[in-house]
């Protein structure tokens, strides 16, 4: 009959791994920090999510839309968050291939000049700390599978984005493309479509609404609060114009990581 004895602790032996401490070490090593790269096709209403236009009496405009683009968030290997928009160009009557080539160049110039590489997104993971990414824009020209169709006309009186179609004149300039492409990624006009002085509010990345932006029918280009979204040829772009990137990125990271990630624009 074997006598029962109290087993010796494994850690009593020299060089034996202590199971308790080993577990602690593994947990530290397994902390999931920036473990993967992510991307997502975005297809969403912008009104009620990125911004909200209001009538003169303070009630909400019932504007509806759906914006489409692709978000790249390579938080493991990259240093940039990229907004990619795929465009298909359809030339209308009396528009040449050279006009189309020119339109593409002007659109790319407009996006590069006014939107690309202007702001930084800061992602804050409660378990891993903060990591910063430059916000970049990438235009891709396609024959199918586009996010938006651009119809290039000989002349088009009221250029703009309607549904997922952008109508422009072949003579349209870089600035106009920069403004219209901003509608494609979900920014609102900061002017009123009525004769009233109205307002628009942007959603901040924390989900609350920012202070009202005045949106009169016409805002002078050199007004103190004029921006690229309010006044023709104004060059001002603000953090609020990139909050949508933070909104989408933090939602994507939160879903992937299973814990609340906060993003903001710096
Ligand atoms: Zn506009």
Pick the range with the lowest mean pLDDT from 21-25, 111-115, 214-218, 238-242: 21-25
Query: What is the pLDDT, as a whole number, of residue 69?
Result: 98
Query: 221-243: string of b/e by CB count within 10 Å (b at 16+)?
Result: eeeeebbbbbbeebebbbbbbbb
| Banded pLDDT at 26 (limits 50, 70, 90) | very low
* Distance from residue 181's CA to the centre of ligand 1 (Å): 9
Average pLDDT of the segment spanning 11-25: 48
* Distance from residue 160's CA to the centre of ligand 1 (Å): 6
Ion ligand 1, residues whose Cβ is below 5 A away: 189
Residue 77 lies in a domain: yes
Instruction: Give percent above pLDDT 90 in the chain.
Output: 88
* Distance from residue 189's CA to the centre of ligand 1 (Å): 5
* Distance from residue 229's CA to the centre of ligand 1 (Å): 6
Residue 6 lies in a domain: no
Residue 169 lies in a domain: yes
Burial class (CB in 10 A: 0-12, 13-18, 19+), 251: middle
* Distance from residue 5's CA to the centre of ligand 1 (Å): 83
* Distance from residue 39's CA to the centre of ligand 1 (Å): 27
Residue 95 lies in a domain: yes
* Distance from residue 157's CA to the centre of ligand 1 (Å): 13
Q: Enter the DSSP assignment of 198.
A: E
Residue pLDDT, tens place only, 166-215: 999 999 999 999 999 999 999 999 999 999 999 999 999 999 999 999 99
| Banded pLDDT at 6 (limits 50, 70, 90) | low
Q: Rounded CA gap, 211 and 266, in Å? A: 18
* Distance from residue 171's CA to the centre of ligand 1 (Å): 17
* Distance from residue 196's CA to the centre of ligand 1 (Å): 17
Residue 163 makes CB contacts below 8 A (sequence gap 6+) with 65, 66
* Distance from residue 159's CA to the centre of ligand 1 (Å): 9
Residue 233 lies in a domain: no
Q: Rounded CA gap, 17 and 111, in Å? A: 58
* Distance from residue 188's CA to the centre of ligand 1 (Å): 7
* Distance from residue 236's CA to the centre of ligand 1 (Å): 14
Residue 216 lies in a domain: no
Average pLDDT of the segment spanning 51-80: 97
Identify whether the C-beta of residue 204 lies closer than 8 Å to the C-beta of residue 181.
no
Q: Rounded CA gap, 156 and 225, in Å? A: 29
Residue 134 lies in a domain: yes
Residue 115 lies in a domain: yes
Range of the domain at 137: 35-187+239-265
| Number of domains observed in the structure of the chain | 1
* Distance from residue 139's CA to the centre of ligand 1 (Å): 19
């Amino acid at each position: 009959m074997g006598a029962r004895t109290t087993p010796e602790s494994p850690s009593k032996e020299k060089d034996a791994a202590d199971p308790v401490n080993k577990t602690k070490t593994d947990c530290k090593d397994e902390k999931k920090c920036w473990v993967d790269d992510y991307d997502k096709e975005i297809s969403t209403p912008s009104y009620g999510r990125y911004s909200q236009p209001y009538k003169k009496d303070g009630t909400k405009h019932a504007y509806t839309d759906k914006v489409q683009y692709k978000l790249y968030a390579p938080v493991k290997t990259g240093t940039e968050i990229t907004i990619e928009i795929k465009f298909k160009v359809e030339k209308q009557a009396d528009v040449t291939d050279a006009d189309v080539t020119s339109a593409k160049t002007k659109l790319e110039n407009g996006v590069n000049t006014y939107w690309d590489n202007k702001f930084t997104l800061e992602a804050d993971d409660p378990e891993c700390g903060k990591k910063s990414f430059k916000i970049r824009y990438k235009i891709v020209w396609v024959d199918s599978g586009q996010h938006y169709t651009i119809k290039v006309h000989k002349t088009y009186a009221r250029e703009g984005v309607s549904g997922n179609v952008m109508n422009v004149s072949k003579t349209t300039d870089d600035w106009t493309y920069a403004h219209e492409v901003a509608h494609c990624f979900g920014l609102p006009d900061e002017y009123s479509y009525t004769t009233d002085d109205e307002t628009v509010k942007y959603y901040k990345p924390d989900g609350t609404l920012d202070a009202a932006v005045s949106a009169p029918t016409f805002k002078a280009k050199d007004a103190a609060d004029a921006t690229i979204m309010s006044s023709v040829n104004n060059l001002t772009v603000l953090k609020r114009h990139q909050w949508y990137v933070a909104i989408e990125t933090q939602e994507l990271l939160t879903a992937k990581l299973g814990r609340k990630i906060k993003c903001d624009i710096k």
